[in-house]
Amino acid sequence: MRLISIWIVLTLAFVVPASAHPSIGLAVSFAAGVAHPLSGLDHIAAMTAVGLWAAVKGGRALWVWPLTFVAIMLVGGSLGLAQIALPFVEAGILASVVVLGLMVALVVNPPVWVGAAIVGVFALLHGHAHGAEVVHNVNGLEYVAGFLLATAILHAVGIGLGLTLQRVAPGPVNRIAGAICVAIGAGLCAGVL
């Protein structure tokens, strides 16, 4: 329980509560790419939830789901960079926080490929939003590399947190972490966070 409290405090200490993607036009560097996923509660919760869910599932999911997320996020980022529109990007990003949190809270245990498909859909939307932020007259590769690295780090944090929680207090503590993600997603959807 203490680890969850620390996670919540650290998350809230480094989050800028605003819309999911307020910095359109500011995406010009590697540092901006790293900073963006670490500056929004939606990104932190969803990407950490991917790692938590992978830890709950275990086995191949520990590397398949995060790797799938990062790879498909790159595809989405490329679509955003190319100005190819996707429907429901912001709504899908908010839904990702709730859905991925539910996967952890309810200990949903699909086959690895089904989980990869679920995280892949959300990764496409997150990536598109990031790619669409890149200024059109600069090389966005540095920014893309930055947001991919930050995403991988958040997945690793989720995996580490999930595995640690399973050792310390198996079962309900991971469910509580998932429920926190759901609450964050609901708060973002309702506009109170």
Question: What are the residue ranges spanned by the domains of the chain?
Answer: 2-6+39-190
Q: What is the pTM of this model?
A: 0.83
Q: How confident is the model at residue 168 (pLDDT cuts 50, 70, 90)?
A: confident
In this predicted structure, what is the pLDDT of residue 27?
54
35-75 confidence digits (pLDDT tens): 888 888 999 999 999 999 999 999 999 999 999 999 999 99
Give the Cα separation of 137 and 18 in Å (integer): 26
Q: What is the pLDDT of residues 103-147, one digit of tens each?
A: 999 999 999 999 999 999 999 999 999 888 886 656 678 888 898
Q: Would you say the C-alpha torsion 126, 128, 132, 136 has a positive or negative sign?
A: positive
Q: Report how far residue 137's alpha carbon sits from residue 114's, in angstroms, rounded to the nearest whole number.
A: 38
pLDDT band at 24 (very low <50, low <70, confident <90, very high): very low
Q: Hey, is 27 helix, strand or coil?
A: strand
Predicted confidence at residue 14, as pLDDT, reads 46
Distance from C-alpha of 44 to C-alpha of 181, rounded to nearest angstrom:
9
